[in-house]
Amino acid sequence: MDIELLLWLPIVLLTLASIIKIFNKNKGNRKPWIRIEEIKENE
């Protein structure tokens, strides 16, 4: 195996970690399908 190929390893890992981070960040911002709200009296 070419040892130069190993130099791509940190680049690929960093890219994957960034993509996962972006994906997880957006996950929290998604609007929920159902929203349950408490209804107060006389509302």
Partner 1 sequence: MNRHLSMRTANPALQSETFKKSMTGSMGTSEVMTINGVVNKTGLALLLLIISASVTWSDPTLSGLAMLGFVVGLVAAIATIFKPTIANVTVPVYAISQGLVLGAISRVFEMQYPGIAVQAIFLTFGTLGSLLLAYMSGLIKATENFKLGVFAATGAIGVLYLINFVMSFFGTGIGVIHSSSPMGILFSLGVVVIAALNLVLDFDFIEEGAEIGAPKYMEWYATFGLLVTLIWLYIEILRLLSKLNSRR
Q: Which residues contribute to the site for partner 1 (CB under 8 A)?
A: 3-4, 7-8, 11-12, 14-15, 17-19, 21-22, 25
Q: CA 29 → CA 3, 11, 25, 26, distances in Å?
A: 42, 28, 7, 5
Other CB atoms within 10 A of residue 33 CB: 5
In the complex, least distance from residue 11 CB atom to partner 1, rounded to whole angstroms: 5
Nearer to partner 1, 24 or 42 (CB): 24
Select 6 or 39, whichever has its Cβ closest to partner 1.
6
